[in-house]
Amino acid sequence: MPENFNSNYSRYYDLLYKNKDYKSEAEYIAKLIRSVHPQTKNILELGAGTGNHAAILCNDGFTVTGLERSAEMVAKAKEKKIEGFTPVVGDIQDYSIDQKFDAVISLFHVISYLTSNTALIDCFNTTNSHLNKGGVFIFDVWYTPAVYVQGSETRIKKMEDDDIEITRLAQPEAHYNLNVIDVNYEIIIQDKKTRLAEQYPEKHPMRHFSIPEINLLALLTGFEVIKTEEFLTAANPGENTWGVCFVLQKK
């Protein structure tokens, strides 16, 4: 969970990402799942947030269980009353769900939130044990070559709805020996009527990965890597590919 995490993150999450193309992303994932494991019916989503991908996947005929560490995000997801979607509070590093799944997915760089080798190995092992025979684990992560080639620059994002304006400043701090970038956010929320504003910081440590690193993790945790491609475009990853999607199959 991000440091300085508070309920504002979940309160404003959907507004911050209202222009994110969840529909295309969920359709891409559904297509990928059907191409590598056509019999897939039930999906476990790690770091499901407020259920935006799950809503589209459930509408497409899958059932989805969404594991999410933030109780506030889970509450938001429950408010949406998505048929076929069960959001639950839990940590993706170490979880126990009394069910096995055909596919486990983790979207929008959630695996990059696991910054230590121990956390990653725990997550991959636990995920393996929750998959049916031949089941698949699909996730996207920050890709090391792009992080180094493009660098990570300060960014500003502004969003608004009828009531509030959000301004989010993101300042990255690289830890080169850890493959981790701390994304330091400063978030300002202003009420449009009263013009009163609140401001708070948030720190998201994000790990980036090379392909051999994920291949090694897969080897250690009982998976075979069956696809490695740019998220959404399916292109070969290159120095400008920020998000790489990996498809692992349980051995």
Ligand X SMILES: C[S@@+](CC[C@H](N)C(=O)[O-])C[C@H]1O[C@@H](n2cnc3c(N)ncnc32)[C@H](O)[C@@H]1O
**Residues at the interface with ligand X (CB under 6 A):** 1, 47-49, 52-53, 68-70, 73, 91-93, 107-108, 110, 113
Residue nearest to ligand X (CB): 49
In terms of C-beta distances under 8 Å and separation of at least 24 residues, what long-range contacts does 155-158 make, across chains too? 157/16
Report the alpha-carbon distance of residue 56 to residue 64 in Å, rounded: 10
Residue 30 CB, nearest distance to ligand X (Å)? 15
Name the minimum Å distance from CB 45 to ligand X.
7
Cβ distance to ligand X smaller for residue 27 or 190: 27
Nearer to ligand X, 73 or 187 (CB): 73
Which residue's entry shows tokens 């990653």? 120
Is the CB of 73 or the CB of 136 nearer to ligand X?
73
Q: Closest distance between ligand X and the C-beta of residue 138, in Å?
A: 12
Q: How far is the CB of 133 from ligand X (least distance, A)?
A: 26
Contact residues for 174 (Cβ-Cβ < 8 A; gap 6+): 152, 180, 181
Count of CA atoms in the C-beta half-sphere (13 A) of 174: 12
Instruction: Please say which residue, 93 or 210, places its beta carbon nearer to ligand X.
Output: 93
